[in-house]
Amino acid sequence: MLQPRRIRIGVIAILTLLLSWLALPIAAHAASVVSQGFKVTEKFATGQAVVMNNGTLAAATAANQSQLYGVVITRQDAVISLSNGLNEVQVVTSGPASVIASDLNGEIKTGDQLVPSPISGVVMKGTEAGKSLGVAQQDMNTLSANYQKQSVKMTDGSTKQVNVVLLSVAVNIHDFQPSVPTTPAILLPLQSALSNTVGKQVSTMRLIIALGILVVTIVAVFVILYAAASSSIRSVGRNPTAQSAIFLSLIQVVAIIAVIFAVAFGLIMLVIRG
């Protein structure tokens, strides 16, 4: 015969399981995407980042990022859709969504902050203080098969081709402050110059690798020149009539050095461009 204490424990356990089972749909519902409908006069593409200005939606850009509001989604993507009628777009201001992103500021990795870019409605990797839409939930390169090319006019007047793709993001609009740069102050001017050259931020690691290649190249060239000069001096001392042959040999050395510098330059550009 069961003791009353064991019966009470069993009843409590059963009630706990039932309450947990009933709470699952509630918890899932709370984590669902909730969107708000807004009547608009212009068309918005699914995945566009938008701003709110005096009750009116507009595509987000780097210039109006202080008014960043959310991401346009389809009505089907929202479990709860707060809507007042037709001619509306659904905007999610918090939670999971898909946003149109570009590699204008470097390839996006999981965990990167996403900020509005110069392209209307398109976000990019955040590297400077500003308004963040949220955090990337996947690496951009995993979607390379779906890349679309977009021409962007740079501040210097040049045109650059960038990749644009629909990327998963955890929407959480907040002020973004990047961590203090780890680049030594003495290298900051060089980093800035290289970033302007390639049109995107060059990381400290890539800068150090590029400088390493340059240093190794200079040392190798110095060793080659020293060996060639020493050999030429000794040859002239032994045989003064061999000057033409020695001169030809030096020209070959110079050609080899030019090839070494060309290869090193190619490697450096490959490293800083990523």
pLDDT in tens, the chain (274 residues): 444 444 444 444 444 433 444 343 434 343 446 667 776 777 888 999 999 888 888 999 989 999 999 999 887 765 555 555 555 788 888 889 999 999 998 899 999 999 999 888 999 999 888 899 999 999 998 898 889 988 877 666 778 889 999 999 999 999 988 765 567 777 778 887 887 777 777 888 888 899 999 999 999 999 988 888 787 777 766 776 667 777 788 888 888 989 999 999 999 888 888 6
d(CA 76, CA 90) in angstroms, rounded, equals: 10
d(CA 94, CA 80) in angstroms, rounded, equals: 13
CB of 84 closer than 8 Å to CB of 39: yes
Rg (CA), the chain: 30
How high is the pLDDT of residue 212? 92
d(CA 84, CA 87) in angstroms, rounded, equals: 10
Residue 89 corresponds to which amino acid? Answer: V
How high is the pLDDT of residue 133? 95
CB of 166 closer than 8 Å to CB of 100: yes
How high is the pLDDT of residue 20? 42
